[in-house]
Structure 1
């Protein structure tokens, strides 16, 4: 606008008034951001001392840059000239100003509606209020139920160690005590005696108890997108159960899996009924994030219990009674159960009084079954050598006795 005034004054030869017009011309820079985004013209009326009306059209040469700026009404302010003979009046069309003001008001109202405390970006506050209210109601209900004193059959309150305390503190103390009891129930086995007492005569009680983990020892779980979960039987499982079942061993499935998952699998694996008892996750002891098997709760002689597992963390309470095997991952050429059946059958037939010494010896090897087969081969070679020596001795005696008889 200043440039246009200068050019008009120069074209009419009014150089003597140019300096005063430039000094008194004040424009509002904010109006420049209100140009039409389409690059249209903004008419401005300039009154010169000659009373001629000149129309200056300013063109928005940078519509893309101005498009991202907020629309504001175009206002060009000016201060009146001190001279009576010259005055400059800069103004904008009133219709455009009113339209822009209404648009800005509507936009500000929409922004306020979107940014209200429960809508738009602030909706998380409503979620926090809902979660906080739910947790508060749950806590109040828990304290009112678990913190209430016990009542006798007549409805009278039973006195306990918290009866002399204020009501609120007594409720909180009882709630804390019940929470510790509930935590202990989850961590400890479901009962003190996991197995019933040994069978009495005339029933046959096997002399040894064999505790077996299900997953990784007898079966392998496999999941695919097309079939979902499937469980694969380990090769030789039928031969294994038939060889080590009663009357040699009392077979017990002791698994860290839940009963809903594992019980149908045991039914499918053992249709002949060699497995006498089944224990699942509720019978384990939860320690440091692991379900640990506690053999002391089996109600059996610890000197005659063998536990087969593939996880050392599951047998850390009684490692002297355990034989840790390599986890089976689904190989079809696996022969571990067949070799294991020969190993356990040898122990049972030998009548070992305390199997912990045998297990402790074989636990020092990386592959206990390979060490057992090597010992069996050595023992067989020694037995063959002994038998051969006996035969040679007998044949020599028979030859000498025949020679003496002839003489």
Structure 2
């Protein structure tokens, strides 16, 4: 490339002169205002940027791109809340804040890792949650960690926008104890009851001695979630039929009892 000619420089100046003039006018107009007005405008812009920083996620893509071969990318993404799902916070005057780990978490993570990309997405701040995640996951099964600054603040709630996870939303399961947390994508969420710190926890292992037996039932399914829904619907139908049969048997027994009672009374008369 040769040196720019005088004609090209002149054409560039002609092209950029209007934009430069507008910029200069804006700067001059801004500083021509009284100092009090200038300070108020700067304060407003500061709080406006801070406001959007609070209500919007830090990035439209909160997770990096899925892993490519030869690395293994689990087919599903499991997003878990930390507070009242994996940990229960307790406070007392003597000890201050203490956190109780839910039973079976280590075993649960170990069994889920082959099928699920485990992400902890909590409404807590990173300063609070980061050491807690380290304590409950010493083996590093949790692949990613997201905190309050990644949520979308709506109607007084920290909402977790699944569309910002940079994953196929049809493959994402979000587990929380607040339905508001997945209000933007309600069909991606599963709301659990808050764990109260009870050591005899019926939810962590769901009464299953070996969770591998449960996972094995869905290992060959192309869509485990759809398979689970089909099985739940089948179980509900079978339960409804069982209750209907039980009701019919009860009605028959009641009718026979009434007939026998009437016969006995007529015989005594």
The bucket for the TM-score relative to the shorter chain is 0.5 to 0.7
> Where does residue 349 of structure 1 map in the other structure?
219
Cα distance, 1:324 vs structure 2: 0.5
Matched, 1:337 2:204: yes
Return the alpha-carbon distance in structure 1 between the equivalents of residues 213 and 115 of structure 2.
Answer: 13
Tell me the SS of whatever aligns to 1:337: coil
> Where does residue 78 of structure 2 map in the other structure?
210
Change in Cα spacing, 1:373 to 1:225, as seen in structure 2 (3 Å) is farther
Cα distance, 1:159 vs structure 2: 4.0
Return the alpha-carbon distance in structure 2 between the equivalents of residues 299 and 191 of structure 1.
Answer: 10
> Where does residue 99 of structure 1 map in the other structure?
none
Change in Cα spacing, 1:234 to 1:200, as seen in structure 2 (3 Å) is same
Cα distance, 1:158 vs structure 2: 4.8
Question: Contact 1:253/1:279 (CA < 8 Å) preserved in 2?
Answer: yes
> Where does residue 167 of structure 1 map in the other structure?
33
Return the alpha-carbon distance in structure 2 between the equivalents of residues 372 and 207 of structure 1.
Answer: 22
Return the alpha-carbon distance in structure 1 between the equivalents of residues 214 and 54 of structure 2.
Answer: 34
Change in Cα spacing, 1:268 to 1:223, as seen in structure 2 (3 Å) is same
Structure 1: any 5+ residue segments left out of the alignment? 1-156, 363-370, 379-407
Matched, 1:293 2:163: no
Tell me the SS of whatever aligns to 2:205: helix
Alignment of 1:115-194 (within 5 A): 158-159=23-24, 163-164=28-29, 166-168=32-34, 172-173=40-41, 175-194=43-62
Change in Cα spacing, 1:338 to 1:373, as seen in structure 2 (3 Å) is farther
1:23-81 CA-partner distances (Å, limit 9, x unpaired) = xxxxxxxxxxxxxxxxxxxxxxxxxxxxxxxxxxxxxxxxxxxxxxxxxxxxxxxxxxx
Cα distance, 1:272 vs structure 2: 1.2
Alignment of 1:18-37 (within 5 A): none
The alignment's TM-score, normalised by the length of structure 1, stands at: 0.46
Change in Cα spacing, 1:349 to 1:292, as seen in structure 2 (3 Å) is same
Cα distance, 1:350 vs structure 2: 4.2
Return the alpha-carbon distance in structure 2 between the equivalents of residues 250 and 345 of structure 1.
Answer: 15
The alignment's TM-score, normalised by the length of structure 2, stands at: 0.68
Structure with max Cα Rg:
1
Change in Cα spacing, 1:320 to 1:181, as seen in structure 2 (3 Å) is same
Alignment of 1:14-93 (within 5 A): none
Change in Cα spacing, 1:184 to 1:160, as seen in structure 2 (3 Å) is farther
1:316-337 CA-partner distances (Å, limit 9, x unpaired) = 1111100111110011111312
Cα distance, 1:374 vs structure 2: 9.0
Question: Contact 1:235/1:335 (CA < 8 Å) preserved in 2?
Answer: no
Return the alpha-carbon distance in structure 2 between the equivalents of residues 374 and 333 of structure 1.
Answer: 30
1:111-139 CA-partner distances (Å, limit 9, x unpaired) = xxxxxxxxxxxxxxxxxxxxxxxxxxxxx
Cα distance, 1:313 vs structure 2: 1.3
Greater relative CO, 1 or 2 (CA 8 Å, sep 6+): 2
> Where does residue 262 of structure 1 map in the other structure?
129
Cα distance, 1:268 vs structure 2: 1.1
Question: Contact 2:221/2:227 (CA < 8 Å) preserved in 1?
Answer: no
Structure 2: any 5+ residue segments left out of the alignment? 1-21, 239-269
1:203-243 CA-partner distances (Å, limit 9, x unpaired) = 00100000000011111011122222111111211221111
Question: Contact 1:162/1:173 (CA < 8 Å) preserved in 2?
Answer: no
Matched, 1:325 2:195: no
